[in-house]
Structure 1
C-alpha cells in the first residue's frame, strides 16, 4: 500500500507542484468547496465526492468512482 498523506502533507504536496486547491479541484473535476473541506478535516472522505477527493489527494487509500460528467447526454441521431 502506498504511503498516505495527512491533510497537511497533501497541502504541502500541492504547494510543491505549484497548484492551488482550486487548480487541483478543477483538473480532477471536483467541487472546490469539498476539496477544501477534506483538506481541513471537516469531511473524512467516506463516500461520494469527498471520498474521491481524499483518494486523489493521497489522504485515503481506495478505489475511485467514475468522475461525474459535466456534459449532458447527447440524444441519439436517427
Structure 2
C-alpha cells in the first residue's frame, strides 16, 4: 500500500461528509486504530488493522480459492 492510498481514503471519507470517528463506530472499530491505519502507522497485515484496510478498500479481499504451494 502506498501513502497516496491512505490519503485518498481519508479524502474520500471527508468529501462524503463522514468523520473518521463516525465511520469507525459504524463499522465496529476503534477510532484510534482507524486513525493509525489512515496515518500509515500500522502495517495492516493481520488482525483489526487488516480488517479496517479491507473495509476502506485499501486491501483486496483474500481469494479463498488460492492456496500457498511449496
- How many pairs are equivalent? 59
> Structure 2: which 5+ residue stretches go unaligned?
63-70
Name the counterpart of 2:19: 20
Of the two, which has the highest radius of gyration?
1
Per the normalisation by structure 1, the TM-score is 0.70
* Matched ranges for 1:1-78 at <5 A: 6-63=5-62
Superposition misfits of 4+ residues, deviation over 3 angstroms: none
Counting helix residues as a fraction of each chain, which structure ranks higher? 2
C-alpha RMSD of the superposition:
1.3
